[in-house]
Structure 1
Amino acid sequence: MTSTAHRPSVLFVCVHNAGRSQMAQGFLASLAGDRIEVRSAGTEPAERVNPAAIEAMAEVGIDITAQSPTVLTPDAARTSDVVVTMGCGDSCPYFPGVDYRDWVLDDPAGLGVAAVRPIRDRIRTLVEDLVRELSSDPAAPNP
């Protein structure tokens, strides 16, 4: 009998989908490859990704220039295993059975790259922890 492993799906959500969620998406795609499906969206998407976020990510070798802000849809949240919110508060839809996490991070909007670096570095740490969690053997006992 052949079994197919479930590929977890993560959706990063912030208001403008131009900084925090884009950086998180970039890190998760880089760290997990195709082992984890990753998307990002915003409740009020900006017209373009924050240039300081693009520059900060380029400094660590991750190119997010091709990404663009996307509007959050109920279906995107409903079909995700994990929804990570970053400052969207009550404007994020809630669906039973979806694992919601709220990452408290400063908003990089209007900040220069020097101020975005600590936000980027915190996002990397949180994403690394998420990758470890989602990549663990589901049959392994929890400590």
Structure 2
Amino acid sequence: MKKKVAFVCVHNSCRSQMAEGLAKKLGSDVLEAYSAGTENYPEVKPLAVQVMEEEGVDMGGYYPKLLSDIPKEVDILITMGCNVACPYVPCRYREDWGIEDPSGGPIEDYRKTRNIVKEKVMDLIQRVKSKQI
């Protein structure tokens, strides 16, 4: 049975979207991935979409979602790096990845963030497969 994982940050416009896309691509056999933010935002950052395309992840149809748009309870909650207060979502397991938001920076910052997110998503998939989570 797949584990429901939610990747959450403030705007759901970059880091959490990257994590959702990578989890769907790399871990669809063990994860049911969602992402959301705590505040409204108009779009997924174009540079985030661009660097994900470089990884073979099409985020063309992705849009920022709020916590109310994802399941009310998940197995795993991953916060991407809380600016003020981490959101509360009922879950069985929770961790904060503390990833810096590349928004406003050059594309190289987005690539660096994508690579960090990819490494963490692959580690999460391995931990789920080995029943550590």
- Per the normalisation by structure 1, the TM-score is 0.83
In structure 1, what is the Cα distance between the partners aligned to 2:54 and 2:39?
Answer: 27
Show the counterpart of 2:122: 128
What's the Cα RMSD here? Answer: 1.9
Is 1:105 aligned with 2:99?
A: yes
- Could you give the per-residue CA deviations for residues 61-115 of structure 1, whole angstroms, max 9, x where no partner exists? 1111111100113973x421000001234240153x5211100111022223121
In structure 2, what is the Cα distance between the partners aligned to 1:94 and 1:61?
Answer: 30
- Per the normalisation by structure 2, the TM-score is 0.89
Q: Percent identity?
A: 35
Report the structure, 1 or 2, having the larger strand content: 2
SS of match in other structure, 2:119: helix
Greater shift, 110-119 or 10-19, is seen at 110-119
Greater shift, 30-39 or 20-29, is seen at 30-39
Unaligned runs of 5+ in 1: 1-5
In structure 2, what is the Cα distance between the partners aligned to 1:40 and 1:75?
Answer: 7
Q: What one-letter code is carried by the residue in structure 1 that aligns with 2:30?
A: R
How many pairs are equivalent? 131
Is 1:21 aligned with 2:16?
A: yes
Picking from 63, 71, 74, the partner of 1:68 is 63
SS of match in other structure, 1:11: strand
Unaligned runs of 5+ in 2: none
Whether the 8 Å contact between 1:53 and 1:108 is mirrored in structure 2 is no
Q: What one-letter code is carried by the residue in structure 2 that aligns with 1:73?
A: S
Runs of 4+ in 1 over 6 A off after TM superposition: none
Higher-Rg structure is 1
Whether the 8 Å contact between 1:7 and 1:35 is mirrored in structure 2 is yes
Show the counterpart of 1:3: none
Whether the 8 Å contact between 1:27 and 1:127 is mirrored in structure 2 is yes
